[in-house]
Structure 1
C-alpha cells in the first residue's frame, strides 16, 4: 500500500494540528486535579526556595549580590522540566487509553502530531510556571520578569531542550513499551546536577565540567547568573545554547521518526497500551 493511500491528503494541515491540540486541551480541562497539578509543584518549589533565598541573602555575600538568583533558577528549571513532561505525558495519555493506533489510521501525520504535542507542552508550561512567577512578587518582592529580554531567550532554549528530551522519551517508549514510561519522570532530573542550576559550572570537577558545557541548560543558567550578578547578557553562552539545541533537536527528531517507523512496522502502535 502506498503512502498516498495511507494519507489521502499528504500536505501539512494546520486544522489537524489544531484538532489534536483541542483534544489534549479538553483532556486537561476535564480533570481539575491535572489542572491543579500544573501549578502546584512550581508554586511549592518557588515558595520553598524563595525562603531559602531569603535566608542565604542575609548570610551570604555571594547570594546577596544577586537578589532572586535561586527563585529565578527554580522557575527556569521548571520550564525545562514541564517542557519535557508536557510532551511525554500527552503521549502517555494516548498510550494509557490505547488510542495511539486509532490516531494513525486517520489522516494525522507524525509531524502534525509532534507539533500538537509541542503546542500542548507550551500551554502546560505556561499554566504551571506563570502563577508561580507572579506569586514570587508579593511573597518575596522579586519578579523574574525583571530579567527582561534575556528571560525570553532563556525560556525558549530551555523549552526546546525539554521538547528534545520529550521526543527521545517517546522514542524509547515506542521501542521498549510501557516499561520505559518511568523515563518521563527521571530523565530530566538526571541532568540537574550537571546543568549548573543553583551553582556555577566551575563548582563541578574539571572532567565533569566538559559534560556540563555540552548541555544547553548549563549555558542558560550560566547566562542567567551573568545577568543577575553583572547585569550583562553573555552572548557566548546564548550562542552555545542555541547551537546545542539545534543539534539535539535534530538528533532526537531522527531517533523519534526512526522509532515511530519501526513501531509501525512491528504493529506496536496497535498493541501498546496501559
Structure 2
C-alpha cells in the first residue's frame, strides 16, 4: 500500500477527499471581500429593511381600518421576514458564486485542490453569514416599529429558518448550474427565479384559496409548510411538527437534485472548455 501511495503524484497524496481547511479558506476569502466593501454590507440589509418598512406600514394602515386586518397584521410582517430569509439565503449563495465569475477566477479554483463539494460547502457557509447580517436590521425594525418579534415563534423558528434557507440553496444550485452552462447572460435568473415561488408557496395567504391543481403544486414545495406553520402558530398557537418534518424531507430531495444539476452543468462546462471564459 505504501509503495502504491509513493507512486501517486504528490498533489494526490496530500489532497484529502474533503478538507475543512479548504472550505474555511474559501469562506475567509468571501468574508474579506464582504467586509472590505461598505456598499456590499449596506446592500445586505437595505432590501430586507425596505421591504419590511413598506409592508409593515401597509399592515399598520389596514390595522387601523378594521379589526380583521389587525388580527392578520403579525402574519403579514412575519411572512415578509420569512420570505426575506429564503430569498437572502439564496442570494447569499449565488452572489458569492458571482464573485468568482466577475473576477474570472472560477476556472482557477476548479484546477486547484479545491473540490466542487467543498466549494458548495463554502458558499453555504457564506450564505449563512450574509443572511444573518442582512436580516439583523429588518428584525430590529420589526420589533421597534411594528411590535413583532420573530423570535417569539420559539423553537419552531429554527425549523422555519432551516427549511427556508436550505430550499434557497437548492434554488441557488440550479441557478448557478444554469449560469455555468449558459454564461453570465443568465445572471438575472438569480433574482427572477425565487419570485416564481411567491404565488406558489402561500406566503401571504393560505394555500386553501388556490385552485385545486395549483394547491397540489404548492404542497410539493417545502416553503409552503413553513408559511402555513407560521400562520398556525400565530392564529392557533399550534406547532405542526409533522408538516415541518415533511418539509425537511422534501428539502433533502430538492437540495440533492440541485446539487446533481449543478455537478452536471459543471461537467458540461469543463468538457466544453468554458471555465476560463465564463465570466466574459
- Residue 183 (str. 1) matches residue 189 (str. 2): yes
| Deviation at residue 136 of structure 1 after TM alignment | 1.4
Give the alignment of 1:107-146 within 5 angstroms.
107-146=113-152
| Deviation at residue 90 of structure 1 after TM alignment | 0.9
- The match for 2:179 is 173
- Residue 201 (str. 1) matches residue 207 (str. 2): yes
- Residue 34 (str. 1) matches residue 40 (str. 2): yes
Structure 2 distance, partners of 1:216, 1:140, is 28
The verdict on how the C-alpha distance between 1:16 and 1:244 changes in structure 2, with shifts beyond 3 A counting, is: same
- The match for 2:106 is 100
| Deviation at residue 58 of structure 1 after TM alignment | 3.1
Aligned to 2:199, what secondary structure does the other structure show?
helix
Give the alignment of 1:1-274 within 5 angstroms.
8-274=14-280
The verdict on how the C-alpha distance between 1:264 and 1:5 changes in structure 2, with shifts beyond 3 A counting, is: farther
CA contact (8 A) 1:8 1:107 kept: no
After superposition, the CA RMSD in angstroms is: 1.8
Structure 2 distance, partners of 1:41, 1:47, is 10
Structure 2 distance, partners of 1:6, 1:102, is 18
The verdict on how the C-alpha distance between 1:5 and 1:263 changes in structure 2, with shifts beyond 3 A counting, is: farther
* Structure 1 unaligned residues grouped into runs of 5+: none
CA contact (8 A) 1:87 1:120 kept: yes
| Number of equivalenced pairs | 273
Which deviations, in whole Å up to 9, do the C-alpha atoms of 1:30-64 show, x marking residues without a partner?
A: 11111100000111111111111222223344443
Which deviations, in whole Å up to 9, do the C-alpha atoms of 1:55-78 show, x marking residues without a partner?
A: 222334444334511111101100
Structure 1 distance, partners of 2:188, 2:213, is 29
* Larger CA deviation: 231-240 vs 57-66: 57-66
Structure 1 distance, partners of 2:14, 2:278, is 26
TM-score, length of structure 2 as denominator length: 0.93
Aligned to 1:237, what secondary structure does the other structure show?
helix
TM-score, length of structure 1 as denominator length: 0.95
| Deviation at residue 114 of structure 1 after TM alignment | 0.4
Which deviations, in whole Å up to 9, do the C-alpha atoms of 1:123-157 show, x marking residues without a partner?
A: 11111112211121111122111111111110110
Structure 1 distance, partners of 2:141, 2:112, is 43
* Larger CA deviation: 85-94 vs 65-74: 65-74
* Structure 2 unaligned residues grouped into runs of 5+: 1-7
